[in-house]
Structure 1
Amino acid sequence: MSQEPPIEYAASKINSTVKNLREGLDPDVLAYWFKRIEDKSKELVPEHLKDKVHFEQDRILWMKFKMDVSKRAVPTVMQVIEEYIPMMPYSTGLYFRKIQEILTEEMNKDLR
């Protein structure tokens, strides 16, 4: 039974880790999770807020999304993001953690 040398084993582990991180930030992966979050949020918000939750992917910068969310719907969106993060690839989860941080900052600006 032949084992691969330690350097080749380490290189293959690094390559697979980098590949997984890169795939988690693929625009299609992000669009998939934005759609899931949008759909679930619309299910949970009151009827009058359903049209106040909308995400749109930029047609030029594919990793950029426009979020049109009512302030009253933000807590629900944050809750849904939190629920889905454990299911996401690691780098996608980091991306959505940053979105949570931005949403929190925006909500805090309005309280000042």
Structure 2
Amino acid sequence: MRRVKVTYRPQAISDLQGIYRIIAQASQSDTAASGFVQRIVARCRKIGDVPNGGRPRDDLEPGLRMVPFERTAIIAYRVTNAVEITNVFYGGRDYESLYHVSDPD
């Protein structure tokens, strides 16, 4: 299969910035924070190699897929003509309730 381009929604970029801040503050190390975020971005790029490899989460949002990252984060994405990273949830954040907030039911 051909590699698919990976893009980031603004919320995903904001999530990555927030993760950087959390880790930099907790570790007192910009190097550690930068390295962790770089590993997340590298993992996101790999999703482009096998875009349908993530776990389908249509129960949260149609077309949504998720993959875990180093037991501390979840990468959420959709596959269209590209892989669109929608969010990166860190540290046990209750992402399921965030998706259900906008649910009209």
TM over 0.5: no
Larger Rg: 1
TM normalised by structure 2 equals 0.31
Structure with a larger share of its residues in helix: 1
Relative to its length, the structure with more strand (as a share) is: 2
TM-score using structure 1 length: 0.30
- Greater RCO structure (CA 8 Å; 6+ sep): 2
